[in-house]
Amino acid sequence: MLTWKNILTIADKGTPAPDRTVRKTDQEWRVQLTDEQYRVTRQHNTEAAFSSDMCSLFEPGIYACVFCATLLFDADDKFESRTGWPSFTQPIKENTIAYHGDNSLGIRRIEALCNTCEAHLGHVFPDGPEPSGLRYCMNAVALKKVETSLEKATFGGGCFWCTEAIFEQLRGVDSVESGYSGGHIDNPSYRAVCDGTTGHAEVVQVMFDPNEITYKDLLSIHLSTHNPTTLNQQGADKGTQYRSVIFAHNDEQETIAEGIIEELQDAFDEPIVTEIKPFEVFHKAEDYHQDYYEKNSNAGYCQAVINPKLEKTKKLFKEKLKD
């Protein structure tokens, strides 16, 4: 989870590279955009407050850049700021927004741009609700609500290097991020989590398309590729950060999780101790943890621990794997 301190650091040191880039000439933008869209997004202006009904829309969904369709914000992170502009507490991914220092009004502000096409979106302020404390104050003309079937799932089951590698193999999974959930401090470091002082579990947050793979499928794969009967331990990895846990994002996920645990219990000799907790906050782990297996597949831990889990996944769930 990004905080104001993170935003200031990124603005000073540079934004992480986007997943893709879209570049057009000024004339091409003028042809594509309305006069107001061009004025706001290409000339870095601001639309009039309360000029869009987007401020009062809070139905579930995803908000994308109106120009390049990059997914920017989840409606779950939208809130009523009473400022006259759509406001969010977090972007969908840390590399979707670029941050630049802006001194145009004689004070330092942080400008937010689409990291894909460089469209001016608005500004970020440190006066939003907890736990992030951020308010992404966005111009409605720069956003569009898109039809998407993607849903979120958050699981813990030992070292997140293993869990991430498994879910990245699955058809219908759009993205997987390693991080921390279930603790009592904001933005924990890996070292603090490993010390066991923060209460967090190592988890992965999965964006998936339920039309291709169901939440129940994900749970079944998760519970079958780690040991859900060992308390606070997976193999040689011991500690509460390695606990088996499901963070449910809604009542439906909680009900499905309870059902699949009951359904799979007979497959295990010992009681399943997997916790089911309501999801609260996901803190993305440090960059070197992301896509760890993909970057370090020849490392000893990957060979000894992750590879056998991947082989088991292929054996049990071959029909669920990406081509």
Q: Distance between CA 213 and CA 166 in Å, rounded?
A: 14
pLDDT higher than 80, residue 148: no
pLDDT of 50 reads 94
pLDDT of 224 reads 96
Of 68, 159, 162, 302, catalytic: 159
Q: What is the mean pLDDT of residues 143-147?
A: 88
The superfamily (CATH) of domain 4-146 is Peptide methionine sulfoxide reductase. (2.170.150.20)
Output the pTM of the full model: 0.70
Band (296; pLDDT cuts 50, 70, 90) = very high
Of 55, 68, 114, 137, catalytic: 137
CB within 8 Å of 233: residues ≥ 6 apart:
239, 242
pLDDT higher than 80, residue 236: yes
Pair 6, 133: CB distance under 8 Å? no
Q: What is the mean pLDDT of residues 217-232?
A: 97
Within 10 angstroms of residue 84's Cβ, the number of other Cβ atoms is: 15
**Secondary-structure percent of the chain, ordered helix, strand, coil, rounded to 5:** 35, 25, 45
Per-residue pLDDT tens over the stretch 249-264: 999 999 999 999 999 9
pLDDT higher than 80, residue 103: yes
For the chain, what is the mean pLDDT?
94
Per-residue pLDDT tens over the stretch 174-198: 999 999 999 999 889 999 999 999 9
Q: Identify the CATH assignment for 151-320 out of 3.40.50.2000, 3.30.70.1730, 3.30.1060.10, 3.40.50.300.
A: 3.30.1060.10
First vs last C-alpha separation in the chain: 32
155 or 106, greater pLDDT: 155
In the three-class reduction of DSSP (H, G, I as helix; E, B as strand; rest coil), residue 218 is classed as: helix
Q: What is the mean pLDDT of residues 110-137?
A: 95
In the three-class reduction of DSSP (H, G, I as helix; E, B as strand; rest coil), residue 255 is classed as: helix
Residue with tokens 């941050």: 99
pLDDT of 263 reads 95
Residue with tokens 């590399």: 95
Q: Return the C-alpha torsion angle 230, 233, 236, 237, nearest 10.
A: 160
pLDDT of 59 reads 85
To the query of whether residue 159 is one of the catalytic residues in this protein, the response is: yes
pLDDT of 57 reads 86
Q: Distance between CA 97 and CA 70 in Å, rounded?
A: 10
Q: Distance between CA 79 and CA 82 in Å, rounded?
A: 9
pLDDT higher than 80, residue 311: yes
To the query of whether residue 114 is one of the catalytic residues in this protein, the response is: no
**Would you kindly state where each structural domain of the chain is located, as residue ranges?**
4-146, 151-320
